[in-house]
């Protein structure tokens, strides 16, 4: 771990120290801050889906009129994930976390003043760019502050808070939408993200690995290493990547080197179909329930049930991956989602459509799909080297967002063609294709050792 450099000074590798060190309270605070950011990401991301039934009523428009608005928001997410990941590798994780969280909060609030679909579409696009930019930088920050043996668990915990945010948004929506309308919903949900950005500005430090790779001073590195409780003892701090290959020169070509190229391709395909299924649910579950005849005050409960299952599944997936390895765990969770979505579609086709049954099944589907999604983010943070982690996670997330864009049209088309039963058949098929792609990913985290 320590070595003599050319000047006789002792050096220490920050990657080795972080990988093998204890998980200090300060490092867990970073996870808590990232979880808070992901919470507000999930809240803001679901705001449109919650607002659509009320917007349909107030603007006198059919649900098909909102497909393009949902799609352009997801296009923003796609661009934001790529651009945000690359910028995070260039200008720092901390700065991108603060800017992106603040921006999507402000853009969500601004939607309260939209007076027509065009204005809402523009604001949703800007909102989506910021939401997308935050995700890869949060994943990189968690990875770079967490010991290797706990990394899968930490990533699962952080990502799970996106589902927690969606669940919270459903609860807030059920409380706000009737008395204060969709305007009040956008103001409250966006305001929570602005508060989160202020907290990040005050409390969030920069990643020590990013600092080491970007040529930060030894004083900065020593200070952050000590806050993490790492035994540096005034030694020269180095990193796995030399200065000549610093984070400021990260090429996207690193995602297609011989050792990761096939994993990159199948990871992107798996993300595409996983996000298609997830966003088909998050964008259209409230409208689906409204189409079955349930009151607006109940439609948000579908989002809450789905997200509650996602919370349990997301948390559980981290422990399962740590214990049993990533590949078998993720394949099992994907298979569960395929089966349960198909079963719910068949139940609705058989005219079994009580709210209690639907909400219970949505929670079970959420359990499996959140586990699948968290597993994919764990893969993406594990596959790529430190100096390209933001780019790798962002590119994989962007591939998923293309699937999410497709979900805006696929979801409403399935509802229009065959109602709720066809809608869940679409979700089951998308999850099946994601499962197949996961099976073809070569790089994975083995059980127990996490090597």
Tens of pLDDT, residues 102-138: 999 999 999 999 999 999 999 999 999 999 899 889 9
pLDDT reported for residue 243: 46
Nearest to 72 by CA among 111, 101, 106: 111
The answer to whether 281 touches 403, Cβ cutoff 8 Å, is: no
Topology given in CATH for the domain delimited by 2-439: Growth Hormone; Chain: A; (1.20.1250)
**432/402: higher pLDDT:** 432
Judge whether 156 and 370 are in contact, CB under 8 Å: no
SS3 assignment, position 440: coil
Report the Cα–Cα distance between both ends of the chain, in Å, rounded.
17
Predicted pLDDT of residue 296: 66
Q: What is the pLDDT of residues 148-179, one digit of tens each?
A: 888 878 888 888 888 788 778 878 887 888 88
b/e burial code for range 279-305 (CB count within 10 A of at least 16 → b): bbbbbbbbbbbbbbebebebbbbbbbb
Predicted pLDDT at 173: 82
Pick 297 or 55 by higher pLDDT.
55
Sequence spans of domains, the chain: 2-439
Range name among 110-124, 188-202, 278-292, 352-366 with the lowest pLDDT average:
278-292
The pLDDT of residue 393: 77
**pLDDT greater at residue 276 or residue 20:** 276
Amino acid 266: pLDDT: 92
Q: Using CA atoms, how far apart are residues 48 and 59, in angstroms rounded to an integer?
A: 14
- Check if the beta carbon of residue 43 is closer than 8 Å to that of residue 189: yes
Question: Would you say 110 and 368 are in contact if contact means Cβ atoms under 8 Å apart?
Answer: no
Strand arrangement of the beta sheet that strand 2-4 belongs to: 2-4, 10-13, 236-238
Label residue 93 by pLDDT band (50, 70, 90). Answer: very high
Burial of 353 (0-12, 13-18, 19+ CB in 10 A): middle
257: left (phi over 0), alpha (psi -120 to 50) or beta: beta
Q: What is the mean pLDDT of residues 97-102?
A: 96
Residue that the structure tokens 């995700």 belong to: 135
pLDDT of residue 322: 76
* Block residue for tokens 């003043």: 113
Q: Is the dihedral of CA 16, 17, 19, 21 positive or negative?
A: positive
- Average pLDDT of the chain is 84
Report whether 392 contacts 384 (CB < 8 A). Answer: yes
Report residue 343's pLDDT band, with 50, 70 and 90 as the boundaries. Answer: very high
Read off the pLDDT band of 221 (50, 70, 90): confident
Other Cβ atoms less than 10 A from the Cβ of 429: the count is 18
Q: What is the DSSP letter of 1?
A: -
| Percentage, residues of the chain above pLDDT 70 | 92
* Mean pLDDT along residues 201-228: 89
Find tokens 């740590």 and name the residue. Answer: 322
Which of 376, 124, 173 has the alpha carbon at shortest distance from 285? 173
* Of residues 197 and 54, more confidently modeled: 197
Q: d(Cα 97, Cα 409) in Å, to the nearest integer?
A: 30
Given a cut of 50, is residue 235 above it in pLDDT? yes
Vertex 45, ends 43 and 46: CA angle to 5°?
70
């Amino acid at each position: 771990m320590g070595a003599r450099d050319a000047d006789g000074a002792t050096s220490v590798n920050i990657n080795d120290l972080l990988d093998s060190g204890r998980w200090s309270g300060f490092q867990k605070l970073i996870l808590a801050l990232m979880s808070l950011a992901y919470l507000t990401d999930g809240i803001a991301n679901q705001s449109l889906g919650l607002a659509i039934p009320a917007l349909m009523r107030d603007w006198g428009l059919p649900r098909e009129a909102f497909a393009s608005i949902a799609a352009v928001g997801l296009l923003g997410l796609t661009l934001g994930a790529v651009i945000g990941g690359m910028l995070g590798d260039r200008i720092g994780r901390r700065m991108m976390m603060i800017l992106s969280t603040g921006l999507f909060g402000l853009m969500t609030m601004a939607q309260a003043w939209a007076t027509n679909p065009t204005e809402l579409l523009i604001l949703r696009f800007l909102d989506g760019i910021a939401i997308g930019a935050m995700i890869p930088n949060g994943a990189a920050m968690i990875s770079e502050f967490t010991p290797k043996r706990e990394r899968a668990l930490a990533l699962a915990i952080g990502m799970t808070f996106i589902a927690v945010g969606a669940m919270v948004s459903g609860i807030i929506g059920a409380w706000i939408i009737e008395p204060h309308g969709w305007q009040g919903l956008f103001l409250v949900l966006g305001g929570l993200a602005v508060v989160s950005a202020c907290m990040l500005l005050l409390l969030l430090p920069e990643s020590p690995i990013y600092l080491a790779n970007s040529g930060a001073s030894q004083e900065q590195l020593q200070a952050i290493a000590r806050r993490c409780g790492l035994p540096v003892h005034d030694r020269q701090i180095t990193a796995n990547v030399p200065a000549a290959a610093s984070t400021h020169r990260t090429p996207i070509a690193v995602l297609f080197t011989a050792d990761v190229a096939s994993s990159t391709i199948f990871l992107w395909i798996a993300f595409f179909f996983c996000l298609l299924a997830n966003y088909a649910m998050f964008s259209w579950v409230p409208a689906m329930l409204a189409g079955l005849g349930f009151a607006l005050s109940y439609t948000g409960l579908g989002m809450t049930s789905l997200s509650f299952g996602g919370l349990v599944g997301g948390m559980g997936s981290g422990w399962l991956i740590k214990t049993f390895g990533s590949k078998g765990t993720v394949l099992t969770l994907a298979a569960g989602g395929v089966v349960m979505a198909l079963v719910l579609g068949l139940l609705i086709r058989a005219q079994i459509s009580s709210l209690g049954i639907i909400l219970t099944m949505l929670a079970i589907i959420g359990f499996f799909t959140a586990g699948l999604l968290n597993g994919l983010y764990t893969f993406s943070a594990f596959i790529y080297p430190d100096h390209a982690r933001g780019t790798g996670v962002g590119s994989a997330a962007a591939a998923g967002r293309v699937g999410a864009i497709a979900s805006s049209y696929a979801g409403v088309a399935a509802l229009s063609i065959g109602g709720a039963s066809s809608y869940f058949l679409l979700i089951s098929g998308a999850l099946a294709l994601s499962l197949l792609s996961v099976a073809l990913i070569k790089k994975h985290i083995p059980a127990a050792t996490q090597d």
